[in-house]
Structure 1
Amino acid sequence: MTLVLVKRAVVASDNDVVALTFADPGGAALPAWQPGCHLDLHLPSGRRRQYSLCGDPQDRSGYRIAVRKIPTGGGGSLEMHALAEGDTVTVRGPRNGFPFIPHSRVLYLAGGIGITPILPMVRAAQRLGTDWHFVYCGRSIDTIPFLDEIWQWDPARVTIRLDDEHGIPTAADLLRHAPRGGAVYVCGPPPMIETVRHGFAETGTKNLYFERFSAAPVVDGTAFEIELARTGEVVPVAADETVLQALVKVRPDTAYSCKQGFCGTCKVGVLAGTPEHRDNRLTDDERQSSMLACVSRSATPRLVLDV
């Protein structure tokens, strides 16, 4: 669907994060969504990027996302920051790869721009009467977006932890408020996710839910090639690279979303070769003829993909 940008606001003191609110050009109510949902945005350059919705699910007049500018990234954030009110974008979704599941006691953890899916989760927890605590980590106070909104919550339930004051947080720092028998939700950079995962077992908390904003590193990878059957093009895949990363270099419009092997967006047909499946989504039947490019690899020197 096509949406129009109706509001652009800087939401961090360092000016590197903008909140963008999109609406239906005719003013119609947008499809309903739940905390944890994201949009796939098709950018003018042909790139596709995924952004978590960070507004209020009860407000269907607009979809709000937030984008941190990364000058050394793939260019998508710069395109998003260049959008002006009145510009239109094509989107797909909302879709949910990080679902909000109600629990009576919850610890929410966010690192940097990882606040975006957590914001609507905390709002939902408040409405449900959940016993919650929120820990927000960032490099410094000026890099943290949405502070004004966060301080409108119960201050006794909010912990702001800054690297420039306290150093990199340990598992004990992050999980100090983890509720026994409850749940932990975390979204942030990979080192933060891994720190929480390694320390989680000692908390007595029953459920851990997490979303990365970048792909997990490839473990025990070996180099191989992929052949794109529709063009005959052969693309190398390095030992520390995913099939998806290699594909995007030559096909910028390749569809993907979670980059963790659970949403299925990057599913691609395999015509020859033997995939090494590393996902938890595909059925045994599906694995006979397809793979998820974001995590799975090859057990043979070459895979021929239906691309």
Structure 2
Amino acid sequence: MREFEADLVVRSAVHEADGVLALTLGRHDGSDLPDWTPGAHIDLVLGEGLVRQYSLCGRTGDTDSWRVAVLRAPDSRGGSVRIHALEKGSVVRARGPRNHFPVVASRRYLFLAGGIGITPLLAMINEVDAAGAEWELYYGGRQRESMAFTAELARFGDRVRLVPEDEQGLLDLDALLGVPRADTLVYACGPERLLQAVEERCASWPAGSLHLERFAPRATEPAGAERSFEVVLEQSGTTLEVPPDKSVFEVVREAGVSVLGSCLEGICGTCETEVIDGDVDHRDSVLSDDERETNEVMMICVSRCTGPRLTLAL
């Protein structure tokens, strides 16, 4: 099925916190948008070659609109600046949604948010709360004024703990994660330093307890020295050589094959491709350890092959 892609109109542009702009997007005619599940994100096409991914943070039941919230980052490469220039009535091209951060069924959840990392967790909280699950949210930010959606979260009472750094310091991860809990899933999103600290403390938790979404690629060590390998495109039978200085995505695109890509850093999942044969050197920040072990898909923008040949469903 072809992925949804269309021009959407900005129905509202609201400053949810210092530096955070929330956009509600819909079709020109008000018709329904594709369904989505908590943890999903969409691509916004902001100019020639400028595509960025943003988590959907509205309610899944609002079928005629999508909501995203974007932090204006001082080190932005252009995306957040373009977003913050949008206003009610502006038109922006969107595609998706896709979800590599889904909510797994559990009796109990611990949500950890850092800054704008609250966005995917907000939709998750609404869903698990409606399902009657037990949950807690610990939400850290630089200061209270920079933390988005606190008014919406207030209705949940003491299940939400706001931790502004200038008032209370950093999240106390040792207290929150020091004792593994077999009945609890941990969902975390935020800056890389927070996610690395969460990963370290969850190392002793039961397998599958921790679920993360990154805004930037995590550091990975190549399986070995960069070298060339062959990639076989199953649908056409074409064999291409991937040199050390090019990605599978680049080589396939140069051969005239239509493949989607967006971040080209292994964090958005747009270029996910089915693997038919061959051993993948996974370098993405999307797949879980279990998904990597199955070797069924790869992100062709960053991942490579540990052997001489890779066969893909292209």
Establish whether TM, by shorter chain, passes 0.5: yes
- The equivalent of 2:269 in structure 1 is 263
| Secondary structure of 2:155 counterpart | coil
- Residue 138 (structure 2) aligned to one of 120, 135, 139: 135
Q: Alignment partner of 1:60: what SS?
A: coil
Q: Structure 2 length as normaliser, TM-score?
A: 0.75
- 1:210 matched residue in structure 2: 212
Q: What does 1:149-160 correspond to in 2, within 5 Å?
A: 149-154=152-157, 156-160=158-162
Counterparts of 1:223 and 1:69 in 2: how far apart (Å)? 38
**Structure 1: segments with no counterpart, 5+ residues:** 227-233, 246-252, 301-307
Which of 293, 296, 305 is the aligned partner of 2:303?
A: 296
List per-residue Cα deviations over 1:40-74 (Å, max 9, x = no partner): 11112431111100001011121000000013221
Find the aligned partners of 2:49 and 2:269 in 1 and give their Cα distance.
Answer: 22
In 2 relative to 1, CA 11–223 (structure 1 residues): closer, same or farther, beyond 3 Å?
farther
Aligned to 1:165: 167
Relative to structure 1, the CA distance from residue 213 to residue 243 in structure 2 (aligned partners, 3 Å threshold; closer, same or farther) is: farther
- Cα distance, 1:25–1:235 mapped onto 2, change above 3 Å: farther
Partner of 1:190: 192
CA change 1:135–1:224 in 2 (3 A) is: same
Q: Which residue of 1 aligns with 2:52?
A: 49
Give the conservation status (yes or no) of the 8 Å contact 1:171–1:198: no
Post-superposition offset of 1:76:
0.5
The corresponding residue for 1:219 is 221
Residue 213 of structure 1 deviates from its aligned partner by 1.3
Cα distance, 1:236 vs structure 2: 5.4
Task: State the Cα distance separating 1:202 from its structure 2 match.
Answer: 4.4
- Unaligned 5+ runs, structure 2: 1-5, 229-242, 251-258, 308-314
**What amino acid maps onto 2:171 in structure 1?**
P
Asked if the contact 2:174/2:201 (under 8 Å) is kept, the reply is yes
* 1:292 aligned partner, one-letter code: M
Structure 1 CA distance, aligned partners of 2:138 and 2:120? 14
Q: Calculate percent identity across the aligned residue pairs.
A: 35
User: How many positions carry a matched residue from both structures?
Assistant: 289
- Supply the distance in 2 between the matched residues of 1:296 and 1:197 (Cα, whole angstroms): 22
Whether the aligned pair in 2 keeps the contact of 1:244 and 1:294 (CA below 8 Å) is yes
Matches within 5 A, 1:1-307: 1-12=6-17, 14=18, 16-154=19-157, 156-175=158-177, 179-202=181-204, 207-219=209-221, 255-256=261-262, 259-260=265-266, 263=269, 265=271, 267=273, 276-278=281-283, 280=291, 292-297=299-304
* 8 Å Cα contact 2:35-2:63 kept in structure 1: yes
| Deviation string, structure 1 residues 207-239 (Cα, Å, up to 9, x no partner) | 21111111112335888699xxxxxxx9958xx
Q: TM-score, normalised by structure 1?
A: 0.76
State whether residues 21 and 63 of structure 1, in contact with CA within 8 Å, keep that contact through their aligned partners in structure 2.
yes
In 2, are the aligned partners of 1:23 and 1:61 still within 8 Å (CA)? yes
Counterpart residue identity of residue 194, structure 1: Q
